[in-house]
């Protein structure tokens, strides 16, 4: 009986600690600073670039406490975003002392970035490999990522999109195969009909639009007009006003063919929307 009570006490104590851990999860920069000031002392002013500051400190804390690839990558991206924002703020400063302060802060952020770069030298993470390739021009990271792709081990839609941009310069067939792999990997909730013109910069929110545009463009360049029409028609269903479907339609002679292609584009559009699409074999 005593052993049972003791077991119940231990279980309740473990549960209490787990609940406390959940409520103490680091979600903001203030949470991280409350845990340890070493994550915050390098920045003495956060009045500007608040969102970027918060994201940077939170992810930096997690990367050092957890040492996971996810947090390493998110810290690298956060340092980029903070430095971009802060760079604009330097241009807006009038007082010399403010300019010097912000430059000092930026130097400290670069120290964090250098630390993460050093910690991820031997990484096999596809996101970090692409970041190192794109930002540091590392041939080692590039070759490692390309080899991973040859073995179909790259599965992140955004990373695949960037690989497709690389291959499009000299191997359009391979670029097309990669682009077709991306669409089913994008969560169905991200296959959204546009409410306003899509930004030219590629983000997770508009990745489906840019992928469809690139597929249509490659098919058009290699004179596969039927497929170019299908993907351009899908874009019009997503309310993309930046495409010229009439130009492609003029390359197809038969109205009967157009009707068949319209049906194909509708079926593909519906599969993308309901998450049942698969890439062509």
pLDDT tens for each residue of 112-156: 999 999 999 999 999 999 999 999 999 999 999 999 999 999 999
Q: Is 53 exposed, middle or buried (0-12, 13-18, 19+ CB in 10 A)?
A: buried
pLDDT tens by residue, 176-222: 999 999 999 988 888 888 766 655 566 667 899 999 999 999 999 99
DSSP 39: G
How far apart (Å, rounded) are the C-alpha atoms in residues 187 and 135?
Answer: 27
Q: What is the pTM of this model?
A: 0.79
Whether pLDDT at 9 is above 50 = no
Whether pLDDT at 4 is above 80 = no
Q: How many residues does the chain have?
A: 281
**Domains of the chain by start residue, with CATH:** 2-120 (no CATH), 155-274 (1.25.40)
How far apart (Å, rounded) are the C-alpha atoms in residues 23 and 17?
Answer: 10
User: For the CA atoms of the chain, what is the radius of gyration?
Assistant: 25
How far apart (Å, rounded) are the C-alpha atoms in residues 212 and 209?
Answer: 5
Q: What residues contact residue 233 under an 8 Å CB cut-off, 6+ apart?
A: 245, 261, 262, 265
How far apart (Å, rounded) are the C-alpha atoms in residues 278 and 281?
Answer: 9
Q: Is 139 exposed, middle or buried (0-12, 13-18, 19+ CB in 10 A)?
A: exposed
């Amino acid at each position: 009986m005593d052993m049972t009570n003791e077991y119940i006490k231990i279980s309740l104590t473990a549960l209490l600690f787990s609940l406390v851990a959940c409520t103490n999860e680091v979600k903001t920069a203030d949470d991280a600073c409350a845990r340890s000031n070493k994550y915050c002392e390098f920045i003495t002013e956060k009045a500007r670039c608040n969102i970027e500051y918060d994201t940077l400190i939170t992810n930096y804390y997690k990367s050092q406490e957890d040492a996971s690839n996810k947090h390493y990558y998110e810290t690298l991206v956060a340092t980029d975003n903070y430095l971009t924002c802060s760079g604009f703020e330097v241009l807006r400063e009038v007082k010399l002392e403010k300019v010097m302060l912000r430059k000092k802060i930026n130097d400290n952020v670069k120290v964090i970035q250098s630390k993460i770069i050093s910690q991820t030298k031997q990484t096999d993470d596809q996101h970090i490999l692409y970041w190192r390739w794109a930002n540091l021009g590392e041939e080692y990271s590039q070759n490692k990522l390309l080899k991973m792709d040859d073995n179909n081990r790259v599965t992140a839609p955004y990373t695949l999109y960037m690989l497709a941009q690389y291959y499009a310069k000299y191997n359009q067939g391979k670029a097309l195969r990669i682009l077709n792999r991306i669409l089913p990997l994008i969560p169905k909730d991200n296959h959204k009909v546009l409410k306003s013109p899509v930004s030219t910069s590629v983000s997770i929110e508009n990745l489906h639009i840019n992928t469809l545009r690139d597929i249509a463009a490659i098919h058009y360049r290699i004179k596969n007009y039927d497929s170019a029409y299908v993907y351009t028609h899908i874009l019009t269903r997503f309310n993309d006003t930046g495409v010229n479907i009439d130009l492609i339609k003029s390359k197809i002679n038969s109205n009967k063919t157009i009707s068949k292609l319209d049906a194909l584009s509708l079926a593909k559009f519906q599969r993308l929307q309901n998450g049942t699409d698969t890439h062509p074999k």
